Amino acid sequence: MSSSLSGKAAIVGIGEFGYYRGTDQSILQMVLKASMDAIRDAGLKPSDIDGIIPPPGFVAWDEIGAHLGVPEIRYTACPQMGGASPVAGLINASMAIAAGLATTVLVPIGWNGYSALRPRPDARPNKRRFSAAFFETVKNYYAPYGLRSAPWWYALYLQRYVKHYNVPPEAAGAIAVACRKHAQLNDKALMRDRPLTMDEYLATPFITEPLRKGDCCVETDCAAAIVVTSAERARDLAHRPVMFLGGAEGHPNRPDELVNRTDMLKLGLDYAAPRAFAMAGVKPQDMDFLQVYDCFTYVALLELEALGYAERGGAADFVKDGKIELGGRYPLNTHGGLMSQGHCWGMNHIVEAVRQLRHDAGRAQVADCEIGLVTGYGDLGDGTIAILGRGA
């Protein structure tokens, strides 16, 4: 990916439906609400949109365009990387704009991640349409042994990480406690008004070792969206632009299977992060905040190592002593993250990064921040990263 992409595109609009445990809204309704909020936030109209990158497996681009009243779509694509998809969508939108294939791209995501897993007679069915090889692997090779959901799949390599590097539970607890602290400052966070101490975290029951209940993100019905346009056009719109400075994706070897990898702990982000920092011309130490995909606390620890903040197995020291909390050197997931705001596939991480760089994050504002990063993480190890900066 050419470094000429750096600084060519900007995020100019953000929107959120909300984060709920149960809603009577369909996935499409949630996505449309978040999309319209993002378009209005940018000071634009649906007729200004000419590119749509939809959420993989749930709602198609033509459904979104038709309901919004978008007159012409010049560009569409659909990254198929699970939780790495929103950041991949941002990268894809930036490429389309830099190449002249579109002028203004909408990137929404939404799902019924709580209610679809608890079917009721009056509930709309889950429209997930994934056909990835990974899910065939799970069905045929993992499920017969009782590994039927994400905590069991992830435990296959997170337990190796914990045992091999003697990672203490307090390291994972530092992630959970920081996210919960930050959620108390966010009126939209699902876990607002529900603080968490380290002792309370350590007392939560194991789901499957090493994962306690406190290590797992919250299931949520939700949607969020961003609008991306050119750097030139962004200067004339409603808010200070948030510039796309660098980004990349990476994939573990092999992406469709876990237990036969040559290195089970090497993530896609290990490959992607150096390329993204090089594109942006910055270093990990230059970041003012970190919005790190946190489906599980131990995954966030591995990502911090992949980003270059610690050697393999060293993230436990990195997260000590409040370093990742507001007021620390590297505030992490200042909105509460997937752990405590809601599981919106990480699009909420991008929305929060935009608020931070607009200096519009309220009580959770990182003082004078100018640059930060967002990561994405897909089952089991696809990685994406975007470096974002405060525009002029």
- The per-residue pLDDT for range 157-177, each reduced to its tens digit, is 999 999 999 999 999 999 999
The span from the first CA to the last CA of the chain, in angstroms, equals 25
Distance between CA atoms of 388 and 392, rounded to whole angstroms?
A: 13
Distance between CA atoms of 368 and 187, rounded to whole angstroms?
A: 22
**Position 326: which residue type?**
L
| pLDDT band at residue 152 under the 50/70/90 scheme | very high
Q: Is residue 362 packed enough to be buried (19+ CB in 10 Å), middle (13-18) or exposed (0-12)?
A: exposed
The whole-number average pLDDT for the span 6-31 is 96
Q: Are 87 and 385 in contact (CB under 8 A)?
A: yes
What single DSSP character describes residue 233? H
Of the candidates 38, 160, 164, 6, the one whose C-alpha atom is nearest the C-alpha of residue 105 is 38
Handedness of CA 57, 89, 384, 255 (dihedral sign): positive
What is the DSSP annotation of 275-308?
A: HHHHHHT--GGG-SEEE---SBHHHHHHHHHHHT
* Whether residue 2 has pLDDT greater than 50: no
> What is the predicted pLDDT for the residue at 139?
85
| pLDDT band at residue 132 under the 50/70/90 scheme | low
Handedness of CA 65, 110, 85, 293 (dihedral sign): positive
> What is the predicted pLDDT for the residue at 169?
98
Cβ neighbours of residue 122 under 8 Å, at least 6 residues apart?
none
Q: What is the largest CA-CA distance in the chain?
A: 57
- Using alpha carbons, list the distances in angstroms from residue 189 to 28, 184, 340, 364: 21, 8, 6, 12
Element (H, E) at 383: strand 382-390
Q: Among the listed ranges 6-20, 123-137, 216-230, which one has the minimum average pLDDT value?
A: 123-137
> What is the predicted pLDDT for the residue at 177?
98
Distance between CA atoms of 168 and 201, rounded to whole angstroms?
A: 13
What is the DSSP annotation of 115-135?
A: GGGS--TTSPPP------HHH
User: Which tops the pLDDT comparison, 136 or 5?
Assistant: 5
Domains, the chain, ordered by start: 3-117+217-390 (3.40.47.10)
Q: For residue 250, what are the β-bridge partners?
A: 383
The gap from C-alpha 107 to its chain's centroid, in whole angstroms, comes to: 13
Q: Among the listed ranges 215-219, 367-371, 377-381, which one has the minimum average pLDDT value?
A: 377-381
Please name the residue that has the structure tokens 């365009």.
65
Distance between CA atoms of 3 and 282, rounded to whole angstroms?
A: 12
> What is the predicted pLDDT for the residue at 122?
60
| pLDDT band at residue 136 under the 50/70/90 scheme | confident
> What is the predicted pLDDT for the residue at 303?
98
Per-residue pLDDT of 323-338, as tens digits, reads: 999 999 999 999 999 9
Per-residue pLDDT of 205-222, as tens digits, reads: 999 999 999 999 999 999
Phi, psi (rounded to 5 degrees) for 306: -65, -30
Percent of the chain with pLDDT over 70: 95
Coil, strand, or helix at residue 358? helix
* Whether residue 282 has pLDDT greater than 80: yes
**Position 75: which residue type?**
Y
Angle at 219 between CA 266 and CA 268, to 5 degrees: 15
**Average pLDDT over the chain, rounded to whole?**
94
Half-sphere exposure at residue 166, Cβ-oriented, CA atoms within 13 angstroms: 1
* Whether residue 1 has pLDDT greater than 80: no
Strands (E), 21-77: 51-52, 75-76
> What is the predicted pLDDT for the residue at 131?
47
**Position 226: which residue type?**
I
* Whether residue 128 has pLDDT greater than 80: no
Strands 211-212 and 289-291, bridge-based pairing: unpaired
* Whether residue 46 has pLDDT greater than 70: yes
The whole-number average pLDDT for the span 72-95 is 96
> What is the predicted pLDDT for the residue at 14?
98
What single DSSP character describes residue 71? S
Structure tokens at 94: 């930036």
Distance between CA atoms of 39 and 234, rounded to whole angstroms?
A: 13
> What is the predicted pLDDT for the residue at 116?
80
Distance between CA atoms of 271 and 306, rounded to whole angstroms?
A: 8
